Chains A and B, each alone.
Chain A
C-alpha cells in the first residue's frame, strides 16, 4: 500500500476519528464489563481485551472505521470453558483462536463465508440478541423491586435522552445517572465490584500458566475453533456493514489476519478473545469516525478512563449494566426479519428459526450456524432435485420420447427412474436430455440402469441432447457406451 493511502487511512479524518473514538470508548466500558460477567471472568479480562484488540486492530485491521473488542458472541462461547477449566485455559484458547484466524486469513478462507446463507446470518444475529438478553436474567434472581426500577430507569434514559441531545451518548448518561442515584441513596444493590476485581493498572505480558501438551490442546481446540468461526463471521459481517455505511471497500482477508493478530496479543496480555462489534462500529461511523485513528483512540481512552476512574467504575450498579445489555440485545436483533417473516420463502424462514433454536438450546452460536448451514444445504438439494419428465408418444404409439428437465445427480435420480415406465409395449424410446444436466456418478449410473432395464424388455433406447459438460462426464466415467448418440 502506498504511503499516501496509509496516511489517508490514519490521518484523513483526525477530528472525526478522535471524537468518535472517545464516544466509542465510553460505550465500550460498560459492554466490556458486562461481557466479562457473561463469560464468568473478572471485569478486567474484558477491559484488557477491548483495549488490546482496539489498539492492535487499528494497525493491522483490514476495515478502517470498524471497532473490535470483547463481544457478547465470543463471551457466550467461553462460559463452559471458564467454569470447568478456569481463566488460564481461556487465555490459551484466545491465543489459539488468533493462530487459527491468521491461518484463515493467509489461506484466504474469507471467501467461504459466502457458503453461509443469509438466513443463517440473520438467525445468528437474532440468536446472539436472545442469548445476551437471557444472560441478564441471573442478575434479577432474588432481587428486590429496586433492581427492576433501576433497570427500567436505565432503559428509559437510553431511549429517551437522544430526543434531548445526541451530543452525549445516552448509555453514558444512563449509567452516570443510575450510578449516582444508587450510590447516593445507598440502596445496597449489587455493583460491578461484587462481580470481580478491577485493577487500575495496564495489562502485563504473560503467557498462560498451564501445561502445554496434547491433553490441554484437546480441551481448548474445540472452543478455539468455535471462537474462530464465530469471530470471523461477526467481523466479516460487520466489515460489510461498515463497507455499506461508508460506501467503500475493505480487505476481508487482511481483516481475518488482523483479528488473529489482535487475539494473540490479547491472550498474551490477559484478555479474552474478541471480534468486531456491529453496534459499536455503527456508533463509530455515525459519530463521524471512518479511519484507523478512531479504533486506536477508543482503546487508549478506555484504558485511561479505567486507570483514572477505576474506583468509580466498580460502584456502577449491575442494574445499569443489565439495562445497557438489554438495549444491546434489542439493537442487535434484526427486527426486519420478524416483520418480513411471512414474505420470505418458508425454507429460509425455517432455516432462520432452526439456527436460533439450536443456539438457544445448546447455548453455542457455532452449533447454530452449523445446523443452519446443514439445513439450508438439505433444502437446496431438495429444491434442485426436482426433475420433471414429460412423456410423448410418436409413430402411432410405437415410439416414446421422454423430455427430461432438471439436474440429474445423487438426490434426483430415484425420482427420475421412478417416472419412467419400462414395461410398455413399445419398440423404441428416446431420452431427450437437452434441458437436463448430468452432475455425478449416480446420474451416469441411472442412465446405464435405465438402458439395461429397457433392453431387458426388448426396447431400444437413444439418448439425445446431452450438453457438453454432461457428455464429457459420460465419456470420463464410461457409461452408456452403446447408444449415447444424437
Chain B
C-alpha cells in the first residue's frame, strides 16, 4: 500500500488529473494515506515572481496560497495533504527531495505546460522515472 505519497505538480490541468487519480487509488485506505504536493520554482519563475510580488517572502506566501484550494479539495475527500515548495531546476530538485525523504511512491502527470518543450528537452516526468529510487507512477 502506498501511504506516504509525493505528488509532483506544475499547477497545470494535467496535475489536476494526477491528483484525481491518486485520490482514487488511495480511496480504500484514505485515513492512512497522505499526499504531499511538491512544486519547483526555477530561476526564471523566481525572477518573474519577485518582480510581481516584491520580495522572496511574499512570493513564497503567494505560491502557497495558490495551492490552498487544491489542498482543501483533497482534504475534503478525506485524504491528508500539504504542499512543499522547492527552488531550482524542477527535475533535479524534485528528484533530490524525493530521494532524501522516504516516500512510498511518487506520482506525476505525463505532460507539462508546453508540448514543444516535452518533445525536445525530455520532460520532467521522464527524468523523475529515471532517477527517483522509490516507485514512480505517471498519470496519463
Contacts and interface: CB of A to CB of B under 8 A. Distances in A.
B127 interface: no
B56 A244 contact: yes
B49 A244 contact: yes
A9 B46 CA distance: 22
A247 B43 CA distance: 11
A218 to B, nearest CB: 36
A334 interface: yes
Given A240-B56, A245-B88, A247-B87, A334 B51 contact: yes
Contacts of B59: 244
B87 A245 contact: yes
Contacts of A247: 56, 87
A483 interface: no
Contact of A245 (B43, B53, B54, B121): B43
B43 A285 contact: yes
Interface in A270-324: 278, 282, 285-286
Contacts of A285: 43
Given A245-B87, A245-B88, A285-B43, A121 B51 contact: yes
B87 A246 contact: yes
Interface string B67-93: 000000000000000000001110000
Interface in B33-50: 41, 43-44, 46-50
A118 interface: yes
Contacts of A122: 51-52
- For chain A, the bracket of interface size reads 20 to 34
B47 A278 contact: yes
Contacts of A246: 87
B65 interface: no
Most A CB contacts (10 A, CB to CB) among B52, B53, B88, B120 go to: B52
Contacts of A118: 51-54
A428 interface: no
Contacts of B87: 244-247
Contacts of B43: 245, 282, 285-286
Contacts of B56: 240, 243-244, 247, 249
Contact of B50 (A163, A237, A286, A337): A237
Interface string A215-250: 000000000000000000000010011011111010
A186 interface: no
A237 to B, nearest CB: 7
B91 to A, nearest CB: 12
Contacts, number: 57
Contacts of A243: 50, 55-56
Contacts of A342: none
B51 A337 contact: yes
Nearest to A335: B48
A24 to B, nearest CB: 14
Contacts of B44: 282
A125 B54 CA distance: 13
Interface string A359-388: 000000000000000000000000000000
Contact of B89 (A244, A286, A337): A286
Most A CB contacts (10 A, CB to CB) among B41, B43, B49, B52 go to: B43
Contacts of A240: 50, 54-56
Interface string B86-128: 0111000000000000000000000000000000110000000
Contacts of A282: 43-44, 46-47
Given A163-B120, A163-B121, A286-B89, A244 B54 contact: no
Contacts of B48: 334, 336
A482 interface: no
Contacts of B89: 286
A147 B44 CA distance: 31
A293 to B, nearest CB: 19
Nearest to A237: B50
A114 interface: yes
B62 to A, nearest CB: 11
Most B CB contacts (10 A, CB to CB) among A122, A245, A334, A337 go to: A245
Contact of A244 (B50, B120, B121): B50
Contact of A336 (B52, B55, B60, B121): B52
A298 B77 CA distance: 53
Contacts of A241: 46-47, 50
A337 B50 CA distance: 12
Most A CB contacts (10 A, CB to CB) among B49, B53, B55, B89 go to: B55
Interface in A243-264: 243-247, 249
Contacts of B50: 237, 240-241, 243-244
Contacts of B54: 114, 118, 121, 240
Given A244-B46, A245-B43, A282-B44, A125 B55 contact: no
Contacts of A244: 41, 46, 49-50, 55-56, 59-60, 87
A472 B54 CA distance: 35
Contacts of A336: 48, 51-52
B132 to A, nearest CB: 21
Contacts of B41: 244-245
Contacts of A337: 51
A301 to B, nearest CB: 22
12 contacts: A122-B51, A125-B51, A237-B50, A241-B50, A243-B55, A244-B60, A244-B87, A245-B41, A245-B46, A282-B46, A282-B47, A334-B47
